[in-house]
Structure formats: C-alpha cells, structure tokens
Amino acid sequence: MRIKRGIVAAAAVLAIVRPSLAAEPAPTSFRIAAIIGLSGPLAVIGADMRRGVEVALDERNRTINGVPIEITWDDSEGKPQVTVQKAASRIAAGANMVFGEIGSPATVALSGLTEQREVPLLVTFAADNALTTPGRLHWTFRTGKNVNSTVGVTAGFAERNHVRKVFGITPDYEAARDSWTLFKTLAATKGIEVVGEEFHQTPARDFSILLDKAMRSGADALYTVSQGNDAITLLKQANEVGLKEKMKLFGPGMVDEIIMRAVGPAGVDVGSTLRYHWSEDFPANKDFVARYKAKYGELPSANAGDAYDGMRWWLRVVADTHSWDKKDWVAAMTGSVITDSVEGRKDMGACDHQARQIALAGVGVEQTAPDLPKYGMKITDILQPGQIYRPCP
C-alpha cells in the first residue's frame, strides 16, 4: 500500500515538473529539410518556391530564437519514392521540420513518413484534399489552397460568367476525377448543365480530338482540371482551332504567370483560380514584393508567394513558442491565426490543419506596362473564406 502511494506521489510530482524535464535543449541550428522538384517539368515551380522561402528566411536574418536556420534543398524529381527516401535521410540527420513536396502523390507519400516520424510537414503547393481530411494527419499543415476551395471558386466563376452548358476535360487520376465530380455537383446547384466529359492520360500529347468533341457538344464553356504541361498543350491546341472564339475556357489553377509565359496569346481571357498574385493589396504583400524584386529582379510568381507566406507563418509560430519541442510547435500551429499575411488574415483549421483564407479568380491578360511581362494574370474576383471553407466544428 505504501509502495502504491509512493508511486502515485512520484507520478504526481513528475506530472507537475514534466514541462521542465521534457523541455528540449536548444539545438545548434534549426534544420529545415526542403524536398521539392528541382529538375524536369517541376523545376520551374520548385525554383520559385525556393526563392519565396529564401526571402522568408532572410526576413528573419536566417535565425530563430537566437539559433541559426539551416535549410537543405533536395530534388524530389517529382517522384514519391525519391521524395520519401530523401526526406527519411534528412529526418534521420536531425531535420526539425520538412517542407514540400509539389505534386499531390509525392506530398501524400511524404506526409505518411512525417506522421510516422513525428516531424512537422509544411505544405504550400499540393492541393489534394487527403492532406487535410479532418482528424487524419496530426503533423501536416497546409497554408496553400486545397482542391475544394479552388473548385468552389471556379464554380462561382462559371456562374458569374453566365455559363449555361459546360464540357469537361479531366486527367485520369483520382484527385482530378474527384475535383471534376465536385464541380459537377456545384454546377448543378447553380443551374449549369454538364453536356459532356472526357478523361485523358497524363501527360497528354494531343488534345485536338477532345477539343473537337467539346466544340461539337453545344457547350458554351470548357472546364478542365488539366494542369502544368497538359494545360499548356491544351491551351496551345485550343488556340489552333479558335476554341476561345466559340466557348469560354476555364479551370482550377489552369493558368498563372508561368503558364502565361508558355502560351502567350493562347492564355488571354482564360479563367482560372489563382494561388496568390503579386498585386494583392495588403501591406505585407507590398513589402514581400519589394523584397523579392530587390533580391531577384522580378515579380514573385504564385508559387513563390505561397511558399513565402507559408514559411513565414510557420517560423513565426515556432518562434512564439520559445520551445524546441516539435509537439509544442504543432500545438501552437493548430488553430493559429496570422492577421498580416500577404493575403490578409489566415486561420489554420484546428480540425484539418487547412488554412482558411481568401480565394482568387482571374483571367489571363496581355499587359502593356513596361515593367511587366507581356502576358500575365489579372484578378477578377476575391472570395472571402466564409464563402469557400466550412468552419471546423
């Protein structure tokens, strides 16, 4: 009995003193393992994300709570296996957090590893809903947009542009099919009829026959979930047959500044969601754009802006904990709020670790200002978080 009482007392004492006993000693450096595509088709995205993160680190003088920040950049080659392999190696070497990847399949694979190793993962690009399914992942946070929000924005875009009949072209993989299914559901609620759909392999080499089907379908708009190289191929080949003169062309994340550089006039008037835009009218954004231009001599892309904002938010939360325990960082980030992000206020969902934030829709435009590239994007609609995201219960 006495022994039992002693154990209870010892447990009580331990429970009281636990924070100090468990407190992690300050490390010699705060290590960020960035695993993103730096070669092949993803290199153009990865390079911009890297630039955005570097600006976020510069802003803190590359230190956090008096400890230098060390960041390593590994090329994931866009492959899940390579991503996991390189991340595992960095985690084993003592990484305090992981940043990445770009594509959803690689990011989902990466999240499996970071959950298992209990290391925080910051996601700014991949939009797969699986990364922020409520209650599924504890160590993963997405500060960028998710599929649901981008599809919601495009459905609103269709309504505001008086689309009545739509034809869909979708890559044949799960997340894209889910996105198209969600759009069809939302379109039905807005009285938009889906008159046809086609699924294609990715990467796709030719869209001309699918585009011909779309033009013959009687639709007044073509909706596509195709992204990156597929989107470029589709836009170039749609331009060949004058599709834009016959129907509206739009899709989630279909065009941005990078794609506009690739397609030029073929992207003008094409509707899309935007992850971020350099022209957003927030003080923090103006400051970021000025820093970015000073460092790199050009305007930040959507990928750079997203990466900067996510890393800045995360580092600020970590710094405010004054702790070197990863669990404290995760607890602090869960439900955290940043009021001065480059896109205004962002709330991190406590139930799903998905940031609630404004969403943008825009169109490709030809730009005449001498300091701007010839083709770029213009924001047409700004939606508030309450219009897009469900609140956490």
Instruction: Return residues touching other proteins (CB under 8 A).
Output: 39-41, 43-44, 47, 172, 198-201, 203, 205-206, 208-210, 212, 215, 229, 232-233, 236-237, 239-242, 258-259, 261-266, 375
Nearer residue to other proteins within complex by CB, 261 or 345: 261
Q: What is the dihedral of CA 172, 42, 256, 203, to 10 degrees?
A: -30
How far is the first Cα of the chain from the last one, in angstroms, to the nearest whole number? Answer: 45
Nearer residue to other proteins within complex by CB, 181 or 208: 208
- Residue 58's CB is within 10 A of a number of other CB atoms, namely 11
Nearer residue to other proteins within complex by CB, 27 or 40: 40
Per the DSSP assignment, residues forming a β-bridge with 72 are 33
Nearer residue to other proteins within complex by CB, 156 or 267: 267
**3-class state of residue 315 by DSSP:** helix
CB of 210 to other proteins, least distance (A): 6
Nearer residue to other proteins within complex by CB, 199 or 282: 199
Q: How many helices (H) and strands (E) does the chain have?
A: 14, 16
Nearer residue to other proteins within complex by CB, 134 or 196: 196
Phi, psi of 86 (to 5 degrees): -70, -40
CB of 76 to other proteins, least distance (A): 14
CA distances from 165 to 168, 190, 191, 226 (A): 10, 11, 9, 19
CB of 75 to other proteins, least distance (A): 13
CB of 350 to other proteins, least distance (A): 38
CB of 221 to other proteins, least distance (A): 18
CB of 247 to other proteins, least distance (A): 13
Classify residue 44 as exposed, middle or buried by CB count within 10 Å of its CB (0-12, 13-18, 19+).
Answer: middle
CB of 69 to other proteins, least distance (A): 25
Classify residue 195 as exposed, middle or buried by CB count within 10 Å of its CB (0-12, 13-18, 19+).
Answer: middle
Q: How is 154-173 classified by DSSP, letter by letter?
A: HHHHHHHTT--EEEEEEESS
Nearer residue to other proteins within complex by CB, 54 or 328: 54
